[in-house]
Structure 1
């Protein structure tokens, strides 16, 4: 059943997640029977789910796919009906998606969402609420969501997504009321196959991207299609063996920070300008003639509020980009430990095997481990709002000395 399911309809979007597809597919079928007024086994379908897994495993994709299957006219996630198509495209009236653009999800945003979710479905079978990065809920937002999860409306389903490396970031009271679905790291072979079949990428390039992406499907696609992403990764992986002089510490730290800032600026610029223009037009802020003064003042105030949110979003983008670079660095030192121990495990950076072997010959396992711990400590420090530049400079100093 599972193999046929993962190759059909909306489920084919989930790469290498056969066990999760089996669970979600069975729940969607049970949900369809509930809609038809049939009885189902207790627990076959529940109102709150927590989809968790390592970065890049496809948590949000799994949530959207499950939402599409719940709205499917056949209950199977066929991919061809109006419910499947609109839910997958993000335009279904009864599928609400919360994607935190800043560093957290506010209590005001969550209260408004819970209120909207209490309504009966308008066009679909279920009112579905998807909360990406549920670990970013503030305490107040968690409390607002908890009340809805404890006493859910009859036809409302909450789908929460959170990384598995920090499950404690999601309130234990919320976790205890959700059905847990663990996603796994997709194997490189499955990632390469989807890059070739879905994105039309050259098989050799797809195989390389899949082997170095750390199981992150989205990143594999970026590496295969964006030369700048490949160049940034190469620059990061030059750092471990490039720290020869004291001045290299600050040069490498500056390169890491500048690359993250550049990515955030590049990603945000076009979107920010478009949002500001659309907002001013919608509020009449660019109008002329009599009686427009109040509209201009209201538009200016709204634009200032928007710019504040955009600044928060840019900060998050910068930190996410920097964290990706730190993950690459940590994987390099992990590969050095694997090589020096002769474990024979698969390398995260097989295309840098020569540098990894050279480092294993130069460093003792203890010094390699200290370097790895410095990278992980830097990630933790940035997560605690230490200024990125200070955290990175402290890390690179340890990387040089070992």
Structure 2
């Protein structure tokens, strides 16, 4: 794939890219008024795949291809249209990336209204909804009406994880063309880390081997020492639960780790947003009208803080879930070793620790521990308080 093109970041998904390129070509013929085979290009797409497979990356590349001005190489990545789409600034491409726990009906109604307008600079108006599984029931209904009766030059691109496809309403799914992505191979991830991000090849291979096929996670592990330290602290838990008192220490440590990571990830952005809002509302001004402006600024600031709190909660949940995925991978590795199966480990760099655990535990005990981790993830999805869910899990991890 040509370096620098919009498709270059869609890692390990050659078949999906071929489908999208064919659709882009069909869309161009449709714009020119030529006949297009039924289904070659459709107004609604659902990108599914496991976490880290690059659903939103593929959707952005598709959006760039639709808007690209290079007729010979659509999705060239070099023209103004491609660059603005990939940067998130194209006038006709609206991206919704939920930062809170859900996408509200008010936000979706506003989006649907914008989608009804004709494109201004490009050939298509594109609406890209990341994590469309977070749509509330009201938001799903608002989107459904638009998908059922779409404007002629509007395309909806929805992204949702394949492990919870039922979270996207069946009526919406039935009106979308589904594009399924796969977990990218470690070799492809290592290659893109080394060539695009300049990561040392040996570090890139290690990160690709332990990321579970999650491209973004591989990049963080390869470039962020703190991310590597957090992963190691999580994987030390299974054999670190020697006394029952360790249960509470480990549970509190896991939750605190997630909280700290959420604060670190959002702190700088939160302060920047507050300063920008204060400046926009005339902070520090004097003279007539200052009092009413100050009241308006305070109200806007409270609303911003509410959104930031929701974003922090989402970040904490995501961080904690990532730690649980690592733990689940550890217990899965123990079962693999005990069974003698010839398959790659999720955590090959912890092979000796896994082997030690496999020698100490029965297969039934390892399976109970794995189930406890999965039950904890489910409890968190049902909004159980994190410390309660994690303590219950760690207690099982201790007792087996």
Which residue matches 1:333?
A: 331
Among candidates 109, 112, 120, match of residue 110 of structure 2: 112
Residue 82 of structure 1 and its aligned partner are, at CA, apart by 1.3
Distance 1:390 1:11 in 2: 43
Local SS of the residue matching 2:346: coil
Aligned length: 398
Q: What residue number does 1:126 align with?
A: 124
Any idea what SS the aligned residue of 2:189 has? helix
CA–CA distance in structure 1, aligned partners of residues 56 and 370 of structure 2: 29
Alignment of 1:141-290 (within 5 A): 141-290=139-288
- Alpha-carbon deviation of 1:269? 1.0
Q: Kindly state the Cα deviation for residue 40 of structure 1 after the two structures are TM-superposed.
A: 0.9
Deviates more, 1:294-303 or 1:72-81: 72-81
Asked if the contact 1:95/1:128 (under 8 Å) is kept, the reply is yes
TM-score by length of 2: 0.98
Alignment check: 8 A CA contact 2:4 2:78 kept: no
**1:294-351 CA deviation, whole Å, 9 max, x = no partner?**
1110010000011001000000000000000000000000001111001111100000
C-alpha deviation, 1:8, in angstroms: 6.7
The answer for the alignment partner of 2:64 in structure 1 is: 68
Matched, 1:37 2:33: yes
Instruction: State the Cα deviation string for residues 168-225 of structure 1 (Å, max 9, x = none).
Output: 0000000000000001000000000000000000000000000000000011010010
Residue 35 of structure 1 and its aligned partner are, at CA, apart by 1.2
Which moved further from structure 2: 234-243 or 70-79? 70-79
Q: Does 1:80 align with 2:74?
A: no
8 A Cα contact 1:286 1:296, kept in partner: no
Q: Aligned partners of 1:189 and 1:363: how far apart in 2?
A: 33
Residue of structure 1 in register with 2:20 after alignment: 24
Distance 2:175 2:17 in 1: 21
Structure 2 gap segments, 5+ residues each: none
| Runs of 4+, deviation exceeding 2 Å | none
Kindly report the root-mean-square deviation, in angstroms, between the aligned alpha carbons of the 2 structures.
Answer: 0.9
| Preserved contact between residue 329 and residue 347 of structure 2 (Cα < 8 Å) | yes
- How far 1:7 sits from its partner (Å)? 5.8
**Gaps in structure 1 of 5+ consecutive residues:** none
Q: Secondary structure of the residue that 1:180 maps to in structure 2?
A: strand
